[in-house]
Structure 1
């Protein structure tokens, strides 16, 4: 039994670009508040940046996107 000829998928490069663009947009959005946040105490700035550093993971649809990149389906 022979394996079918392997064909590279276009989904992986597209998915990687989508993830990079999402991260870039998120960083620009948060950095746009940097001058406002600079007036706050350092400990509060730290909490805000840690919070928003974790929030993008929770709101990002990375699991379905990664599944689509691998299988071509959005749902498991």
Structure 2
């Protein structure tokens, strides 16, 4: 266990927040076209977009802790 945090933790948190804000702005921008879809397609679109940002999150959190992208060390 590490005694003190590395530079990756604060940089990673700022990068994560920045990316989430940009992603949310992109989804808000796309909502103009999504709103033209039938309600059931809107629901699917927002569910997919709401989960899509989680895909790289695991690897990103591993990088913040270990400095490696991907699987944690065994």
Give the corresponding residue for 1:49: 46
TM-score normalised according to structure 1 size: 0.70
Give the corresponding residue for 2:28: 31
Q: Which consecutive segments of 4 or more residues in structure 1 shift more than 6 A?
A: none
Q: What SS class does the counterpart of residue 57 from structure 1 fall into?
A: coil
Count of aligned pairs: 69
TM-score normalised according to structure 2 size: 0.72
| Structure 1, unaligned runs of 5 or more | 1-5
Q: Once superposed, what is the RMSD of the aligned Cα atoms?
A: 1.8
Q: 1:11 to 1:39 in 2, by over 3 A?
A: same
| Structure 2, unaligned runs of 5 or more | none
Structure with bigger RCO (C-alpha 8 Å, 6+ apart): 1
- Is 2:60 the partner of 1:65? yes
Q: 1:73 to 1:36 in 2, by over 3 A?
A: closer
